[in-house]
Structure 1
Amino acid sequence: MYKPHTIEQYKIQQFLDHTFAMEHFLVSPLSRSALMLEDRCGERIAFSFSDNEVREIPIPSAPSPDKVKSFIRSFRALGAKPHLRTFEDVTRWWLNHPNPLTYQQALGLPDELYRRFLSSTLIEDEDAQRLAASGLVSEDAYQDIQLWYLNGNTADCWLGPLGIDGTGNLYALTFNYGTPRAKELKFYLLDDYYRHMNHIL
């Protein structure tokens, strides 16, 4: 769930909280001084803060693929790259450095996972371990585990599919991956295939 990182964003968030029933919307940043609202039907509206006032602004057009590719090539060519380990690291870098990327592009999240990121609170280590250890994980909970994994845990852990069997799609989350202390937790994904194979209506 996105929280304001600048004074301008905070002022906009105050306006949104006072004006809208925020439980029906997703909030995402457009820049240091602009936020966007999206409802469950995909309708969007954007606001900026300038001259001590919150104002509605046009939805910015998506950056051209050529600009994005050019920026990524330049970024990869940097001698000393910034250390961007967590979503918070990426967020602060994206806000403080000129770039053509959308926030979603900067985070590197696909649409469904990005919406989950905007609508939920990131889980902690013990939550990820508890969910995986349960042996059966819902699709929403698996997205929570994915976000936890991508949020600074890819170096020490491994998350991914192991295959499919007569019960369902089998996944594993391994802590301390590649070390003698490795701990693998296997679980099934509670998806349509699992429901079908286990006769769950």
Structure 2
Amino acid sequence: MSTEAITLARWYNNGQPLTMDEISVGAVKTYWADGPISDSAPAGTAYAVGEKTKNKYVGISKDKKPLTTILEAAKVDGKSTGLVFTCEVPHATPADFSAHIDSRSNYDAIIKQQVYNNLDVVLGGGDKYAQTYRNELIAKGYDYVTTKQEMISSTSNKIWGMFAEVDLAYDIDRSKIDQKNQHLKK
């Protein structure tokens, strides 16, 4: 059965654990603070900070207090940190690990927080959103790259790679996009 069915059973059981929870291995409880079916923002926040939160919240508690993400904790511990994703950089899931806000849709505020989060590596889509901060990122020591070759050629310890205007194409579509681009170059 799916995790959604188990979550629904918990909610039907007044939010109480099920007997099967004692033997469950490798599963997560997918509900958010106020309901049985989670949006990606509070689900990702639960992974990033270890606490359930409200719908649409990113990196903050139910009462809107910023929570330390696993990446921020790693940074304090002297570790290098980074995000690799296929969506656009201020989308809910990467934002859950790198921003603190009560609206997953506030891309302007999210990208600004991400730029100042001091991540070492950021690779994915969303050049449309990060472009505003390109010069600032370069001034902060990042190589800002937009192609695979630029990324491979980088010798910087800090890299910000935006490989699509918004989100990256699905694997199944990438060969078709590459073929179309090759045709346009002829």
Instruction: Report the TM-score when normalising by structure 2.
Output: 0.31
TM-score by length of 1: 0.30
Q: Which has the higher strand share?
A: 1
